[in-house]
Structure 1
Amino acid sequence: MRPALAALLLTLPLLSGCATDSGGAWVELRGQRYTVEVADEHGERARGLMFREQLADGTGMLFVHDEPRPLAYWMKNTKIPLDIFYFDASRKLVSVSRGVPPCSLGDRCPPYPSAGPALYVLELNAGQAGKLGTQPGDEIVFGPGIPERGRP
């Protein structure tokens, strides 16, 4: 009994660390907070929300790029209709692709480009841009722990 209790006590700090890492990141846009998964490495950005069956309300994915540049996202193997928000290095909204449909055409899926250089991309369930009334120039607010790059 005691070895099992000791093993449990040694495991608890590891479990709490995992929960914090996966559930703590958030962003705010026009006063609405979203819990986000952060994709700040190439492999994470390439996979994005592929193969997911749903995206829970109030959640999204934040892509953090290495430098600002014109970006184009596509919906390869993505099963969820999305709004794709492009933000510059100052975290100001550059453009939004609204209601982007899922695509199962593989490499033939169409791209959805930003209207200018972007550093951050936020993907939310389709319809969020309309509900929020987003406009170019809106600022995204980052919660603690989200990596920032290129902020003047």
Structure 2
Amino acid sequence: MIRLTSSNYHPAYEIHRQGHSHPWSESMFADCFTEQYRAYGLVLEDSYVGLYVALFVLDEATLMDIDVAMSFRGRGLSKQLMAHFLQQCKSKGMQSVWLEVRASNLVAIGLYQKEGFVLIERRKSYYEMNDGREDALIMKLTLV
């Protein structure tokens, strides 16, 4: 796992951009390298294949994004990214972890549920889609 910085994030941003129908702008992605954020890239054979971006505030962490390159999906790499993220949370003394996920993203929801995340709220029509809007699920994991 490699910590993303303003000088090495470009390949990880491409994974983010290709993995979302409405990705963050590059400047928004680049803003995630301040002290409160943790952003890591997963590298295999000298190439970025995944990433996560998280925000740490007081004793709560928010998983802002986790993604694996299309050609590497289905290999358990999201589990590796999640394990690293949760280890970061524990080492920083986080008491809870929050995330939001598209209601249609059943693979991600399954991963989060296996890690112990529970549904807290459903936000109707939260995410833009090419043909309308989609609900967001707000999920929480309590660490202590």
TM-score scaled to structure 1, two decimals? 0.30
Which structure is richer in relative contact order (CA contacts within 8 A, separation 6 or more)?
A: 1
TM-score scaled to structure 2, two decimals? 0.32
Q: Which structure has more helix as a fraction of its residues? A: 2
Q: Give the greater-gyration-radius structure (CA).
A: 1
